[in-house]
Chain A
Amino acid sequence: MILNASGCLDALTAPAVARKLDAYVVKTVTLEPRAGNPQPRLAETDFGMLNSIGLQNPGVERFCTEVLPRLEELGIPLWISVGGAEATEYAEVCARIGERATVHALELNLSCPNVDPAAEGAAEIVAAARAATEAPLYAKLSPLLPDVAGVAKSVLEAGATGLSLVNSLRGLALDEWTLEPRLGRGVGGYSGAALRPVALAAVFICYKATDGEVPIVGMGGVETGKHALDLIAAGASAVALGSILFRDPNAPERVRGELAEELSARGFKRPEEARGVAHRSQND
């Protein structure tokens, strides 16, 4: 299953790209509208890019009245990414979105590097969201967590259906002459190629910690079918494309084709057969 990473595609400006995905993940929606961070919001840097968008979004009310109906017209399965400053906000957004045939899952963004983190622990937020909705819930975790397996287990116990791994790292780039931060906000989210081994490790660790029993969306620096296959081998059941979409809007179709070739070159008939194979020779 190939998805986009939240915040890396707008299905309304690029429906042709969204239609090539198995589901479209919307940019994180919060309870109140958010204007986002000041310019500049982007900078290319070593092995990746920095962004400080700051979860700009119209808020759940306008999202539900103005955006969601237009997304539903596209006829693509939708995942809604949900953010907030407190557990009650996450729960409220989940409740307002409600259960809809078009919405296949909610992804709880527990890890945006561009906003101040929620005060509560991840498990508390998931439990509040679980009480507000019956929809499948994916907990999106940060690669900065020291104990990602521990957090993964706690969110699953709190009612999460699956995991989304990983959000961006934190990074800084300085202007070549002034030596001041290139982003208006200073530090930003670091995504792209540099994230690949980090994401791979997070997926690998969480797959093992959960005995391969929960769905895992792997993402971070995926640019080719081989990168997608690596995540699947480490334990991902789906792969999401992020920053690559900016330079190659054809990436969903291309990566899907490359993945099929990489699988068959190794004798796998379906992606499911390759899931978790990285763990075969691992002893405890």
Chain B
Amino acid sequence: MPAPRRERRKVAGSERVGVYTLLRFERGGLDAGIPGQFFMLELPGHVVPRPFSICLAPKGELGFLIDPVGPVTRELCELERGQEVSVFGPLGNGFRTDVDRPLLVGGGIGVAPLPYASQLMGKPPAILGFRTRHHAEAAKLVPKAEVCIEPTLVTELIPAVPMNVLACGPEPMLHAVHALVPDAQLAWEAPMACGFGACYGCVVEFESKSVRLCVEGPILNGRPPVLPVLNGSEEEKAE
């Protein structure tokens, strides 16, 4: 697994995708990591960085899909080409992608890690749920996606045959997917301050075990974590 690095990266481009923004950075010396891994993006004037899933990894770039829900996400959506942000990653464990019968399941901004997963996994079937048609525009980032709009829920579309589900979305959706497919890989979320196990802010209970999502996740039932995160190898050298 590639070691995380922290670098200042320039915005390579930004485009609206429905209510979301696809923000691309010049990749520099950073590795794109594997689907389900995340990066901490830090804006000047903010106390802690914020986690974002790697969404796309075009040649020489890193792409993130951002939902403007608060101060940092709103500022990220307004960034212009050439502006600089500190980017730290890839972090976390990521999805197991070598599965037999993959099915990607996303809800809302939970679509974010799926374009990259779809690309690396040879465009497996996908089911995406959104609140409105405007939100659903993001479905164009995932080939072969079946889309549903509320009140229809993604869990109503998951076929009864056994599938290896990779899911990302709001917590109620993840609970429903987990109930339906107990071994589903679930991209879980909690506010994070560090992304490398330092703060214990991201701890959640899963199957009566307490996990630090940034190191033992964010993918629950995903790949085993790679520890330590910052071990001092050459590639890790920060800024």
| Interface, chain A (partner B; CB < 8 A) | 7-10, 12-17, 19, 27, 35-36, 39-44, 47-49, 51, 53, 56, 176, 192-193, 243, 245-250
Contacts and interface: CB of A to CB of B under 8 A. Distances in A.
Interface in B164-206: 190-194, 196-204
Contact of A9 (B198, B202, B236): B198
Nearest to B191: A42
Contacts of A8: 198-199
A195 B210 CA distance: 31
Contact of B199 (A35, A40, A51, A248): A51
Contacts of A19: 232
Interface residues of B, number: 36
Contact of A243 (B48, B192, B210, B228): B48
B162 interface: no
Contact of A13 (B193, B210, B229): B229
Contacts of A41: 190-191, 200-203
A225 B204 CA distance: 35
A74 to B, nearest CB: 10
Given A39-B204, A41-B191, A42-B193, A246 B199 contact: yes
Interface string B193-237: 110111111111000001000010000000000011111100010
In the A-B complex, the 5 residue pairs with the closest CB atoms: A13-B197, A16-B232, A42-B201, A14-B230, A246-B194
Contacts of A39: 190-191, 203-204
Residue from A48, A246, A248 whose CB has the most chain B CB atoms within 10 Å: A246
Nearest to A10: B197
B201 A35 contact: no
Interface of B: 6, 40, 42, 46-49, 70-72, 86, 190-194, 196-204, 210, 215, 227-232, 236, 238-239
A109 to B, nearest CB: 15
Given A42-B191, A44-B47, A193-B47, A16 B200 contact: no
Nearest to A27: B200
B191 A40 contact: yes
7 contacts: A12-B197, A15-B232, A16-B230, A36-B210, A44-B71, A56-B203, A243-B193
A201 to B, nearest CB: 21
A42 B192 contact: yes
A44 B43 CA distance: 13
A245 B201 contact: no
Contacts of A48: 47
Given A13-B230, A15-B230, A15-B232, A245 B46 contact: no
A40 B202 CA distance: 8
Contact of A245 (B198, B210, B227, B238): B198
A194 B41 CA distance: 22
A162 to B, nearest CB: 24
Given A14-B196, A249-B194, 20 more contacts: A9-B198, A13-B196, A13-B198, A13-B215, A13-B230, A14-B198, A14-B229, A15-B232, A16-B232, A35-B210, A53-B199, A53-B201, A53-B203, A56-B200, A246-B48, A247-B40, A248-B6, A249-B198, A250-B6, A250-B238
A247 B198 contact: no
A176 B70 contact: yes
Contacts of B232: 15-16, 19
Pick the most buried of B198, B201, B202, B238: most chain A CB atoms within 10 A of its CB.
B198
A81 to B, nearest CB: 13
**Which of A40, A42, A47, A245 is most buried by chain B, counting CB atoms within 10 A of its CB?**
A42
Contacts of A27: 200
Nearest to B213: A39
A190 B111 CA distance: 34
Nearest to B46: A44
A60 B197 CA distance: 20
B70 A246 contact: no
Contacts of B47: 44, 47-49, 192-193, 243, 247
Contacts of B42: 247
Nearest to A9: B198
